[in-house]
Amino acid sequence: MPGSEPAAHCYCGHQFGQFAGQLGDGAACYLGEVKVPPGQDPELLRENPSGRWEIQVKGAGLTPYSRQADGRKVLRSSIREFLCSEAMFFLGVPTTRAGSVVTSDSRVIRDVYYSGNPRHERCSVVLRIAPTFLRFGSFEIFKQADEFTGRQGPSYGRDEIRGQMLDYVIEMFYPEIQQNYPDRVERNVAFFREVMLRTARLVAQWQCVGFCHGVLNTDNMSILGVTLDYGPYGFMDRFDPDFICNASDNSGRYSYQAQPAICRWNLVKLAEALAPELPPDRAEAVMDEYLDLFNRFYLDNMRKKLGLLQKEEPEDEILITQLLQTMHNTGADFTNTFRSLSQISCPAEGEGEGEVVKKAADLLLDQCASLEELKAANKPTMDPRELAMLLSMAQSNPALFQMISDRATIARQLDRLSRLKDLMESSQEELTAKHADDWTSWITRYRKRLALELEGQSDVQAVQEERVRVMDGTNPRVVLRNYIAQNAIEAAENGDFSEVQRVLKVLERPFCSQTASTSTARSAVPYDSKPPAWAHEICVT
């Protein structure tokens, strides 16, 4: 590209909790930056005050950091990154963007599932755009030798470079902080607090759309608080707090419910990497704010999802927790259940409460899993003999047990076994009746809370209309479920890119109230329906 100066970015990272040392862009290549001319969209300027957009290609070939890999990306992973980065943008979640995907006739061998069955796949390149691709791991290149892995950053001891990097990031991407804090230490503390705040807000948004990143290593965390690096991600179908989208994450370190805590852990590692420019005691004080900030962002968003707009009641958090527990118990679809809630009306004089609640329960029962689906979902992922051995080892040799497993993993497996046992002793009719009771109970509590929204309101109809408008603008009708992406990928691999284009158009209007389009691949399934039976077989690593 004329005028470009290609480069690869050197960074380090903590991967699955262990410092991996030098990593870097093994397949991505920086082409340069585009400076937006004066008069650009004010909203865009607020999003990126630097006015510069970094252009990067991913999958272009070998870089100095490719290690034993070939620097190539394939059509499958490129389409997944392209579609998801655009889907997240239109959902209103901060993210890097994708400009294009270009594929070729060149092929590389990939073992998709690490099963010993490699296949040839088309080489492809995705164009990525962001104000910067700097990440937490960018500052870990200065790390001293790690006490556990023995690895150290390639620039250990180069403190002057760390100061220069910090100056660049703050001056370019946090100009208001640079202007408002003449004292260097106070400036750095303010910068770290802003990164912490943006990260807390980001992960709260992930949780509220059912998004699971899959590989939340420090090298995949943006210094700007945007979603970065789309690999084995997944949007939840059936709600499960222990949802793991990455089939390689055997311990569940990056599960859905673990994401807020993992982001906090990564922020602590960033603080360590910034010391002594960021005094450790000041960083610790900032981190003490993280949980409260996350909870505030999460509850604010969840109240919108439930249409609780007029008041903030102490019991709201309990109501949300009970909703998620009911969804888990009934195997309810995450996206569709929240979307359906706007159809549950506020209480009105003269209506039959029992009839209204039953109608609402029937609506939500349509989004629940069948007995066979729940049996499949709760089948332990660990062989029973392995589980028995580990349980015995935990009692007889705790030290050895801790080296090869952990109690949280075992607890999840035992919980699955317990749920499966109960399901095996139930019939579909009994299960449906129990699910109906569960939903009836929650809907009754929900409508009592909605009644509080109407207190002191003179125009009840206006309150109801505003509630529906906000809910339908917060709860998407369509997200990029794995089966939707897989259908598009399979069509593209056979030379038909129309499904990718069709999916992109749908994802650009995720809150649209019209019935979503229907996939043309495999058996026709509307994009806004529950996933087909074969969807649970999709494995992403």
284/196 same-domain check: yes
* Last-in-domain residue among 456, 483, 502: 456
201/326 same-domain check: no
Count: domains in the chain: 2
Kindly state the percentage of the chain with pLDDT values over 90.
84
* Terminal-residue alpha carbon distance, the chain: 33
Rg of the chain taking only CA atoms, in angstroms: 25
58/185 same-domain check: yes
What is the C-alpha to C-alpha distance for residues 61 and 79, in angstroms, rounded to an integer?
17
Q: Is residue 502 part of a domain?
A: no
Catalytic one of 25, 219, 333, 528: 219
What is the C-alpha to C-alpha distance for residues 259 and 264, in angstroms, rounded to an integer?
9
108-139 pLDDT per residue, tens: 999 887 778 899 999 999 999 999 999 999 99
277/371 same-domain check: no
169-211 pLDDT per residue, tens: 999 999 999 999 999 999 999 999 999 999 999 999 999 999 9
What pLDDT is attached to residue 57? 97
38/174 same-domain check: yes
* List of E strands, 147-268: 211-212, 234-235
329/263 same-domain check: no
Both structure tokens of 170: 């703050």
What pLDDT is attached to residue 255? 97
Both structure tokens of 235: 């949007």
Backbone angles phi, psi at 110, to 5 degrees: -135, 135
What pLDDT is attached to residue 523? 52
* Last-in-domain residue among 409, 432, 456: 456
What pLDDT is attached to residue 384? 84
- On the question of a cis peptide bond just before residue 276, with omega within 30 degrees of 0, the verdict is yes
119/264 same-domain check: yes
**For 210-234, what is the mean pLDDT?**
98
Beta bridge partners of 102: 125
**For 508-514, what is the mean pLDDT?**
91
Confidence of residue 35 (pLDDT cuts 50, 70, 90): confident
Q: Is residue 377 part of a domain?
A: yes
Q: Is residue 36 part of a domain?
A: yes
Domain interval for residue 406: 314-456
Q: Among the listed ranges 72-86, 263-277, 346-360, 483-497, which one has the minimum average pLDDT value?
A: 346-360
368/240 same-domain check: no
What is the C-alpha to C-alpha distance for residues 203 and 511, in angstroms, rounded to an integer?
20
**For 310-338, what is the mean pLDDT?**
98
**For 469-496, what is the mean pLDDT?**
97
What is the C-alpha to C-alpha distance for residues 433 and 358, in angstroms, rounded to an integer?
12
Q: Is residue 220 part of a domain?
A: yes
Q: What angle do CA 76, 252, 418 make, to 5 degrees?
A: 120
What is the C-alpha to C-alpha distance for residues 281 and 283, in angstroms, rounded to an integer?
5
Supply the mean pLDDT for the chain.
94
17/161 same-domain check: yes
359/285 same-domain check: no
Report the relative pairing of strands 52-58 and 28-35 from DSSP bridges. Answer: antiparallel
167 tagged catalytic: no
What is the C-alpha to C-alpha distance for residues 374 and 366, in angstroms, rounded to an integer?
14
**For 240-265, what is the mean pLDDT?**
96
* Last-in-domain residue among 456, 491, 523: 456
Is the pLDDT at 82 greater than 90, yes or no?
yes
What is the C-alpha to C-alpha distance for residues 346 and 445, in angstroms, rounded to an integer?
12
What pLDDT is attached to residue 54? 96
What pLDDT is attached to residue 4? 76
Q: Is residue 418 part of a domain?
A: yes
36/177 same-domain check: yes
Provide the 3-class DSSP secondary structure of residue 274: helix
What is the C-alpha to C-alpha distance for residues 19 and 143, in angstroms, rounded to an integer?
10
Q: Where are the alpha helices (DSSP H) in 288-383?
A: 290-306, 316-330, 334-340, 353-365, 371-377
**For 526-536, what is the mean pLDDT?**
91
Largest alpha-carbon pair distance within the chain?
75
Q: Is residue 420 part of a domain?
A: yes
Measured in whole angstroms, the distance separating CA 198 from the mean position of its chain's CA atoms is: 14
420-442 pLDDT per residue, tens: 999 999 999 999 999 999 999 99
Q: Answer for the pair 242, 248: CB distance below 8 angstroms, yes or no.
A: no
What pLDDT is attached to residue 524? 66
Q: Is residue 305 part of a domain?
A: no
Backbone angles phi, psi at 206, to 5 degrees: -55, -50
**For 516-540, what is the mean pLDDT?**
79
The alpha carbon torsion through 500, 506, 507, 511 (nearest 10 deg) reads -170
Query: Does this model's pTM top 0.85?
Result: yes
Q: Is residue 285 part of a domain?
A: yes
Beta bridge partners of 85: none
Is the pLDDT at 266 greater than 70, yes or no?
yes
Provide the 3-class DSSP secondary structure of residue 269: helix
What is the C-alpha to C-alpha distance for residues 175 and 49, in angstroms, rounded to an integer?
7
Backbone angles phi, psi at 410, to 5 degrees: -65, -40
**For 38-55, what is the mean pLDDT?**
81
Q: Among the listed ranges 260-274, 345-359, 424-438, which one has the minimum average pLDDT value?
A: 345-359
187/333 same-domain check: no
Beta bridge partners of 19: 14
